[in-house]
C-alpha cells in the first residue's frame, strides 16, 4: 500500500476556511512528473493548452519559468489581472513530489478584494503513472460569488487546466 502526498497549506488558506475551495486531480499512465512540470512552470506554454489564462506578465523582470518568490501577473475567470507571487517551488525528483503554489489577488474596495492560494502537487506513482493534484482556496466576495455558481466555474476551469497539461505533455511525449 502506498500513501499519496498532500498540499502544504498555510493556515490562512486552509481548505474550508475561505469563501471558495476546489480540488481537482488526475492520474494518468505513461507520463512523468518531470514532463508535466515543464508545462506547469513554463508560463509561455499556458495559453497553448489552457484558454482561461491571458496577459501573463512579470512586473519585476524575469519571466516565462516560474521559480521561488517570482512575482507575476495574469488574467483568469474574467477578473482584472491578478498580482501573484510564487510561495512554494520544488521540482519533482525521484521519491519527491513537485510542489508549486502561488498567492494571487486584487486590491480595491472590500467588495472587490480577492485573495487566493493556488497549489499544485505533481508526483510519479508506481506503474508508470503520474498524479497531478491542484487545489485552490479563495477569500473575498468575488470568490463567494464564484462558489454559488452552478456548475462551479473554478472547478471546471481547473479541470480544463489539468486536462490541457496532460494533453500538452502527451503530445510532447509522442502519445
Tell me the pTM.
Answer: 0.94
CATH class of 19-173: alpha beta
Q: What is the pLDDT of residues 4-59, one digit of tens each?
A: 799 999 999 999 999 999 999 999 999 999 999 999 999 999 999 999 999 999 99
Residue spans per domain, the chain:
19-173
Q: What is the pLDDT of residues 89-146, one digit of tens each?
A: 999 999 999 999 999 998 888 888 999 999 999 999 999 999 999 999 999 999 999 9
Q: Which residue in this structure is represented by grid cell 519533482?
A: 92
Amino acid at each position: 500500500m502506498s500513501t499519496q502526498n498532500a498540499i502544504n497549506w498555510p493556515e490562512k488558506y486552509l481548505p474550508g476556511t475561505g469563501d471558495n475551495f476546489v480540488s481537482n486531480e488526475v492520474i494518468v499512465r505513461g507520463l512523468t512528473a518531470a514532463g508535466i512540470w515543464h508545462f506547469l512552470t513554463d508560463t509561455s506554454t499556458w495559453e497553448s493548452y489552457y484558454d482561461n489564462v491571458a496577459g501573463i506578465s512579470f512586473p519585476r523582470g524575469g519571466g516565462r519559468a516560474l521559480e521561488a518568490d517570482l512575482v507575476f501577473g495574469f488574467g483568469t475567470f474574467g477578473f482584472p489581472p491578478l498580482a501573484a507571487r510564487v510561495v512554494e517551488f520544488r521540482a519533482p525528483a525521484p521519491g519527491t513530489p513537485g510542489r508549486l503554489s502561488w498567492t494571487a489577488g486584487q486590491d480595491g474596495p472590500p467588495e472587490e478584494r480577492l485573495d487566493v492560494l493556488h497549489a499544485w502537487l505533481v508526483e510519479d506513482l508506481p506503474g508508470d503513472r503520474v498524479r497531478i493534484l491542484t487545489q485552490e482556496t479563495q477569500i473575498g466576495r468575488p470568490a463567494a460569488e464564484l462558489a454559488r455558481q452552478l456548475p462551479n466555474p473554478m472547478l471546471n476551469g481547473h479541470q480544463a487546466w489539468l486536462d490541457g497539461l496532460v494533453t500538452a505533455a502527451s503530445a510532447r511525449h509522442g502519445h
